[in-house]
Amino acid sequence: MEAVSYLLRVTLTDRPGSLGLLAMALGTVGADIRSLEVIERGDGFAVDDVVVELPNGSLPDTLITAAESVEGVTVDSLRPFVGKLDLHQELELIDAVAAARRDRLQVLVDLAPRSLHVSWATVVAQSGDEPVQLAASGAAPETPLTRADWLPLSEARELDADADWVPAPWQELATTLAAAPLGRSGKALLLGRVGGPAFRPSEVARLGHLTGILSGLIQSD
């Protein structure tokens, strides 16, 4: 059966898991998210453009009903989408993590470098006074973290690559860093880019929205 594409602009509460809840709600009416773009972020809210596909014959109004069934979500507009679909690589990452029956954290760090244009990725959490590495991509540094003063995180952000907690070998390679929380579990996705460049605000915003979607999938890992 052919699908029809729509562009859904939504305002939603900017908190971990919001996009994941939206995706699940849209899935209940047979919609498939094909692309998303952050339009604006403000104090506690975000405005996103979401391209969705709906089975031919389904009523588009069901998208509005499904989306607004999620607390904190308001549909600003809904219109047919006839432009060229720009599929971001992070959507492939989301699909892969969702399809994994186990080791979802490992799937995440294995695919994140290619999707987010970084050198390596790890998932870390605080355990007592020291951080613990829960998963790491193949190119992740061998030198472990002994401090992570930035944990816990409340939102995605670029980290100070010259801070005291950054291992000396990382600094010698001029590694720029960014991280984002994975739900409210205390875990965080840490990204490193050897030799730079610095993370731009738009990249940090993309990272935050990506981990927001993934939080519901990996909260029990």
Residue 206 scores a pLDDT above 70: yes
pTM across the whole model: 0.66
Tell me the CATH architecture of domain 3-80: 2-Layer Sandwich (3.30)
More confident residue, 13 or 88: 13
Task: Give the domain 100-218 fold.
Answer: Beta-Lactamase (3.30.450)
Q: What integer pLDDT is reported at residue 12 of this predicted model?
A: 93
| Exposed e or buried b per residue across 124-143, where buried means at least 16 C-beta atoms within 10 angstroms of its C-beta | bbeeeeebeebbbbeebbee
Lowest mean pLDDT among 60-69, 98-107, 210-219: 210-219
pLDDT of residue 79: 82
Q: Identify the band that residue 86 occupies on the pLDDT scale cut at 50, 70 and 90.
A: low
Closest CA to 79 of 104, 57, 54: 54
Write out the two tokens for 36: 């998303």
Average pLDDT, the chain: 88
Whether the Cβ atoms of residue 67 and residue 10 lie closer than 8 Å to each other: yes
The reported pLDDT for the residue numbered 191 is 98
Output the pLDDT for position 169. Answer: 96
The model's pLDDT over 91-127, given as tens digits with 9 standing for 90+, comes to 788 889 988 978 999 999 999 998 887 899 999 998 8
Q: Give the integer Cα–Cα distance in Å for 29 and 202.
A: 31
Q: Cα(33)–Cα(93) distance, rounded to whole angstroms?
A: 13
- Domain borders along the chain are 3-80, 100-218
Q: How does 167-204 read in b/e, with b if 16+ C-beta sit within 10 Å?
A: eeebeeeebbbbbbbbbeeebbbbbbbeeeeebeeebb
Who has greater pLDDT, 85 or 67? Answer: 67
Pick from 3-7, 134-138, 196-200 the range whose average pLDDT is largest: 134-138
